[in-house]
Structure 1
Amino acid sequence: MTESVTMLKSPIERPLPLVRQAQPAGAFPIEALGPILGEAAVAIHELVQSPPAMCGQAVLAAAALAVQGHADVELATGQIKPVSNFFLTVAASGERKTATDQRALAPVRKHEEFLAEKYKAERLAFLNDHAAWDAARKAAIKSRKGDRAAIRNALNQLGPEPVAPPLPLLTCPDPTFEGLTLAMQQGQPSMGVFSSEGGQFVGGHAMSEENKLASAAAFSSCWDGEPIKRVRAKDGVTILPGRRLAMHLMVQPDVAHILLSDPVLVDQGMLSRYLIAALEPRAGHRFHKEPSPKSRVKLVNYEQQMYTILQRPLPHANDNPHEVAPRVLRLSRDARTMLINFADHVEGQLGPDGELKPISGLANKLPEHAARLAAVLTIFADPEAHEIGLEAVERGIKLARHYADEAIRLFEGAKIDAKLRRAARLLSWLHESWKEPNVSLPDIYQRGPSFIGSRKSALGLVVELEAHGWLRKLPGGAVVAGEHRRNVWHVIRET
């Protein structure tokens, strides 16, 4: 929404708000995560003092990564889908994203160390076996002296070429899709894109202007569980079935705005696959508080359960360590009925005046999101499970509703004009960091927020603040910070 610049009639008028006051984020339903995941989220919150929603996102995303290779879920419609999930956490700098991510992913890092040691031993065995196989193949061909039938029979007896062990890589922070394809071709069939600095991914090669449509479509296909397909002139055709991908990106608000307001990503449908949480900042409220004695015990319980799942052998397809063949997790009768009722409720809110109409892309996938979440919670609690019960679906729906509420709130915020958003950031800097009663243009673009890099950009934002009554120009200039300036504005600090 773009607002026209209208000068105030009188300096005594109350300043106008630059943007509509955003609704506060709803409390993340940590209790819906179940005992082990929920307690782990609370423990990380107490130990790190990061926002509870961030902690809930982090452990839920880690759990999705751990279980996604073991089972798929049968939806109420009968479709079989992965239990993989894509998460996006929006938090300002200094909200301890990295520390939170490190706690949640500690079992994953430990398992990667185990896989690295295992890979060393298996790779040596593979190289020796492959050398022996290659030598035997050459000998079989040479000794038959051009006898095609004899050579064919000898090669059939020799057996298939040995398969290299998968690379010990479970997560990567900012891959291109081609790089991810190569990693999944040579590495683990179940992987995750996890980054506490998600801006590197959003601003990287994969999401550049020329690549983002293709990348978004490719990542969306991974979420859907479709085989990865790539056709390149140099590399030929690559088809990779049986791969699973989880994702958790932690990004700053400005980066999130870029994603949420990008018409290409909205139209393509990638954003409807993300479960988003935007957090209220905790900076200034993180005074020292001893965590409860049980916090570390709760975290250990989480790590042990995660590691138990990660250590379980993946169900490989045709003995291929690079491809999984997950079992199907089905809904109980009552769970299926509840999910159908939820889907009908969502459909009823998608009409022209429906509550979910502004987020119709996500809303159309809410029943599937709820089923996937319920499946993750089920397998995490019981790695042997073959059925999703009523309680798990209730918790999955509760989480899905929360994500829908967040999406509606963020959709409204994404409509705010970018220039007004920058003007609001400048006003925050003037109120919180600039101690002088007056300000000049050089003060703003030389000392102000880093996104203002020129006189032109500073002037444009000053015009907006002046129009809304937050700055009042002083005729004839004034002294600011010890220097006389020709163009000076008085900062209005109270309304």
Structure 2
Amino acid sequence: MTISDFDGYPLDGLTPTIKVLAKYIHETNKSPLPMCAVSALAGCTLATQGLIKVKWRDAPPSPVGMIFIVEALSGERKTANDQIALREHRVFDKRQSKFEADDAKEHARRKAVWDAKRRSLLRSIGQGAAKDADTKQLEDRLEDHDKLQPVQRRRPRMLISDITAPAVARHLRETYRYAGLVSDEGGVILSSGALSNPAMINSIWDSGDGVTDRMGRGRTEVYGASLTVYLQVQPGVLEQFLNRQGQLTHASGNSSRWLYTNPPSKQGTRFISPYVDPYLDTAESYHLRIRQLLAKYDCDEYPSQKIKEFSFSARRLLEWFSDAVEKELAEGGRFYFMRGAAAKAPENCARLAAIMHEFEGDAGEIGAPVVLGAIKIVAWHLNQYRTRFAPLTQMERDILDLEESIFKHHHRWMQTNGQVKGAELARYAPKRLRQVDKLLDIVLELAIQGRLQVWDESGGSWSVNLHYWIPNHAPAPRPEELEFGVRFLYHPQRERILRRVWQAKAAKGHPQDTNGKSWLWPGCELPRL
């Protein structure tokens, strides 16, 4: 099943430099835009998580590590996306690996000298003790010498993969306290057991502290760490993982921390354009900023972390979002069956705003515009999570199945610029939706969401314009008197259809109305600044 967007990915929620890279990846690889945006955001998070913490409530500052999960088919160019977004991270890690090898040689030399001196002191103390001589001075020298034991410099590594949960904790404790568990073949991570201890991952996500115990290796305690998880995984692999360990993943609240997406596939539509925008190749500004941030880790000590705080208006906006989500947690609310994920949304929003603010190099407090963008993005992922993991109404399931069918067959209607008779659309709809009157109700909901236009003709028939699925073709002439993408003048059920449109308007359950208002989900209007 492909999972539809609520209102398309909110590209305008990204800050300028991140948006440029997301568009660049999208135009270069023709991957679904949400995948490109997540790649860009993951790169920012990996570069900033060791440099900042965020504070927005009366609580200790939080790490800004994130968990990005992208479910996508093989062939969606996941690797190609990451080759662009994580280019500088891999260059950095490669350079650190070389330095680490040089450090190991130097450390071995210094350690050998230190060991030789220690053995000499111990021998002298032993000889003195055998003669019943005073060895206090030698013992003091040994104590001072032990304080000078050579320690190999800790070299940062941005990316780790193919690793178990205890090894993750050991890496954060012994190698470097900031890291990213990253893979464009997420099945490697899922099968390695890296997420087999969700309580530890949750604890590190919450506060930066975590504990893992393993027989034979003892207890590993992690303090002050930050871990970002970014996995791109094929649907069958994720399903297998959830069947095997899904109850633990959901029950522990680990999946509640995810920014999840499963965008519709672009395969079959990724045609090479003969026109190349000369202003498109501006991704270097993103890579330059990544290099600037990564350079702050290349030092003998851990970088000092700034505490990012919010302006008064930004904090009020976050509180509004928190309240808006809270309303939907009650029985009958939109997020009642996914209360864990919804409850974590404000925290994810605060972290994302801090990351984007720091990445743009902005000084001072985080402002309301950045928070507004973060709200749009987190709410979009929340809707994606709901579609994938929460029980849906029958109407929602029918909409998803019809959208999947349209995507599968949309090439048939390219010659008509996406204009399709209702009976023709029913012919290719899922079997249970082929009754034209039943299909019309599903089509109306898609029109209200802004994903197609529908109008009737004399005689009782109706047609649609699939402008969302066939954007590269000239749209059909916009019918007169269109409201919410709907016009019905002759249909026998005209009154019922218009009543549904009016209900949608009254409930404000559409993504955007004619006045340009935006909606995070049905009934939740996004404030204007």
- TM-score of the aligned structures, taking structure 1 as reference length: 0.72
List aligned pairs for 1:250-289, cutoff 5 A.
250-258=232-240, 262-289=246-273
1:77 aligned to 2:58? yes
> For residue 133 of structure 1, what is the aligned residue in structure 2?
114
Pick the aligned partner of 1:119 from 69, 79, 100: 100
Relative to structure 1, the CA distance from residue 315 to residue 363 in structure 2 (aligned partners, 3 Å threshold; closer, same or farther) is farther
Aligned residues: 396
- Give the CA deviation at 1:368: 0.4
**1:230 positional shift:** 3.1
Displacement of 1:265: 1.4
Secondary structure at the aligned position of 1:203 is classed as helix
Give the conservation status (yes or no) of the 8 Å contact 2:156–2:297. no
Instruction: Tell me the CA shift for residue 370 of structure 1.
Output: 0.5
Is 1:375 aligned to 2:354, yes or no? Answer: yes
1:405 deviates by 1.3
Distance 1:23 1:126 in 2: 55
Distance 1:259 1:30, change over 3 A: farther
Distance apart, 1:168 and its partner CA: 5.8
SS at match of 1:331: coil
Conserved 8 A contact 1:257-1:414? no
Q: Deviations over 1:77-118 (max 9, x none)?
A: 333210110001111111111111111110101111221232
**Using the alignment, how far apart are the partners of 1:180 and 1:332 within structure 2?**
36
Aligned partner of 2:161 in structure 1 is: 173
Match of 2:314 among 332, 335, 338: 335
Q: Deviations over 1:26-78 (max 9, x none)?
A: 42222222111110010011111111110000010111011000111113233
Q: Equivalent of 2:278, from 274, 277, 293?
A: 293
Q: Which whole-Å CA distance do the structure 1 matches of 2:185 and 2:393 have between them?
A: 24
Q: Is contact 2:314-2:368 (8 Å) kept?
A: yes
Cα separation, partners in 2 of 1:414 and 1:115, compared to 1, 3 Å: farther
Give the corresponding residue for 2:206.
Answer: 224
Moved more, 238-247 or 163-172: 163-172
User: Does the aligned pair in 2 maintain the 1:170–1:188 contact within 8 Å?
Assistant: no
Shift of 1:245: 0.8
Give 1:249's aligned residue. 231
Q: Which one is further off, 232-241 or 45-54?
A: 232-241
- 1:245 maps to a residue whose letter is L
Stretch of structure 1 that moved more, 138-147 or 66-75:
138-147
CA RMSD of aligned residues (A): 3.2
User: Counterpart of 2:379?
Assistant: 401
Q: What code does the residue aligned with 1:410 have?
A: R
Q: Distance in 1 between matches of 2:73 and 2:188?
A: 15
> Aligned to 2:340, which of 330, 350, 361?
361
Distance verdict in 2 for CA 1:155–1:387, change over 3 Å: farther
Superposed CA deviations along residues 457-476 of structure 1, whole A, max 9, x for unmatched, are xxxxxxxxxx9899xxxxxx
Aligned match for 2:24, one of 25, 35, 43? 43
Q: How far apart are residue 25 of structure 1 and its match?
A: 5.2
Relative distance call for 1:234 and 1:325 in structure 2 (3 A) is farther
User: Cα deviation per residue 1:288-337 (whole Å; 9 max; x = unaligned)?
Assistant: 124422333x2111111111111113788xx4x5xx65332222222222
State the SS of the aligned residue for 1:249.
Answer: strand
C-alpha separation in 2, matches of 1:468 and 1:405:
25
Measured at CA, do residues 314 and 347 of structure 1 come closer, stay the same or move farther in structure 2, by a change above 3 Å? farther
Match of 1:56 among 37, 45, 56: 37
Matches within 5 A, 1:409-448: 409-412=387-390
**Structure 1 gaps, min length 5:** 1-18, 433-466, 471-495
Please state how far the C-alpha of 1:22 moved relative to its aligned partner.
Answer: 5.8
1:126-149 alpha-carbon deviations (Å, 9 max, x no partner): 222222222222233333335664
Equivalent position of 1:204 in the other structure: 192
Cα separation, 2, equivalents of 1:170 and 1:23: 32
Q: 5+ unaligned residues in a row in structure 2: which ranges?
A: 410-430, 435-529
C-alpha spacing 1:235/1:200, structure 2 compared with 1 (3 Å) = closer
Deviation at 1:269, TM superposition (A): 0.5
Summarize the Cα distance change of 1:331–1:155 in structure 2 as closer, same or farther, 3 Å threshold: farther
Contact 1:335 1:393 in 2 (8 A): yes
Which of the numbers 172, 188, 191 marks the counterpart of 1:184?
A: 172
- SS of residue paired to 1:342: helix
Residue 304 of structure 1 corresponds to 288
1:367/1:260 Cα in 2 relative to 1: closer, same or farther (>3 Å)? farther
Alpha-carbon distance change, 415 to 137 in structure 1, aligned in 2, over 3 angstroms: farther
CA distance in 1, matches of 2:156, 2:392: 39
Q: Aligned with 1:275: secondary structure? A: strand
Note if contact 2:200-2:212 (Cα within 8 Å) is conserved in structure 1: no
Q: Deviations over 1:165-224 (max 9, x none)?
A: 2356321233211222233344232111111111222233445xxxx3xx2222222212
> Counterpart in 2 of 1:443?
none
For the residues of structure 2 that align with 1:253 and 1:233, how far apart are their CA atoms?
Answer: 34
Question: Which residue is 1:16 aligned to?
Answer: none
Q: Tell me the SS of whatever aligns to 2:309.
A: strand
> Alpha-carbon deviations, 1:378-399, whole Å to 9, x = none?
11111x7453222222222121
The letter for the 2-side match of 1:275 is L
- 1:260 touches 1:414 (CA, 8 Å); kept in 2? no
Q: Structure 1: how far apart are the matches of 2:298 and 2:320?
A: 34
Cα 1:168–1:468 change in 2 (3 A) is same
| d(CA) in 2 for partners of 1:469, 1:54 | 31
